[in-house]
């Protein structure tokens, strides 16, 4: 019964993480229309494209959307980090639970 509870918790936490990632990505897409922030926020685009300054929206990396979202919407970014840590904790607990159950079975034999 404990294993089922952990699987449900893991599934729910993954869904929350994916929802928050979509929200952050959507909020960060505002970077395309904010030309002023291109040189200050689109750091990964400069690094990946090997350019000194971003000159068009097509040069902006999708990862820079998350940076923009973290800069302008820190609460949502904090929530996605917390949900990611919760996914990791739920996954660790599930793996640990399965490992302990296998050891108990081997001890009983």
Length of the chain: 109
- Give residue-wise pLDDT tens across range 9-52: 999 999 999 999 999 999 989 988 888 888 888 888 888 778 87
Tally Cβ neighbours within 10 Å of residue 101. Answer: 12
* Stronger pLDDT, 58 or 89, i.e. the higher one: 89
Confidence check: pLDDT of 107 > 70: no
Q: How far is CA 51 from CA 36, 42, 64, in A?
A: 17, 11, 15
Confidence check: pLDDT of 108 > 60: no
pTM of the entire predicted model: 0.80
Residue 105 has a pLDDT of 56
């Amino acid at each position: 019964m404990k294993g089922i509870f952990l699987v449900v918790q893991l599934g729910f936490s993954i869904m929350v993480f994916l929802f928050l990632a979509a929200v952050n990505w959507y909020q960060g897409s505002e970077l395309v229309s904010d030309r002023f922030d291109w040189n200050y926020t689109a750091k990964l685009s400069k690094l990946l494209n090997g350019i000194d300054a971003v000159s068009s929206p097509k040069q902006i990396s999708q990862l820079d959307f998350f940076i923009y979202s973290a800069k302008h919407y820190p609460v949502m970014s904090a929530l996605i980090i917390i949900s990611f840590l919760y996914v990791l904790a739920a996954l660790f607990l599930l793996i640990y639970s399965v490992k302990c159950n296998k050891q108990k079975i081997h001890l009983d034999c």
